[in-house]
Amino acid sequence: MEELLNKLIEKGWRPFKIKSDNMHLYCFKDNKILISYYEFDTEWECNHEDKRCDYRQLVSKESWLWQFVCENKMVVRKRQWTNWLWGEPEKCFDYKDYEYWLIESALCKEENLEKFLLDNIKV
């Protein structure tokens, strides 16, 4: 999981819109994440900060994970959706839209979120 998220950072994802090019993400066994980043104020001064979150916060709209993944076509399509009302595939939801993935991850059980992310994001 840590490898996947750091590859996304390398590709340009900035979790929670943190404006830093010097960022690394660490995952812990209890589904906690540490985002460590620093900024250079001057040639000699550096500000280091950490942000902590869990997987549920990581899949929220505010993290910009799904927006970034969808914009960069990094989603893996696993299901064929059929709209029961119109009988037309994907009439209501498009798997390329980040809102679809926000809903899917919101419905995912906490213990399954890591697997869900690993199965559905391709870098």
Q: What pLDDT score was predicted for residue 78?
A: 56
Domains held by the chain: number? 1
Residues 64-82: pLDDT tens digits?
999 999 999 999 865 555 5
Q: Write down the pTM of the prediction.
A: 0.79
Q: Which domain holds residue 109?
A: 2-120
Residues 15-24: pLDDT tens digits?
999 988 899 9
Positions in the chain whose pLDDT score sits under 50: 89
Residue 35 in contact with residue 50, Cβ under 8 Å? yes
- Of 74, 92, 71, residue with least CA distance to 83: 92
CA angle, corner 112, sides to 96 and 90, nearest 5?
A: 25
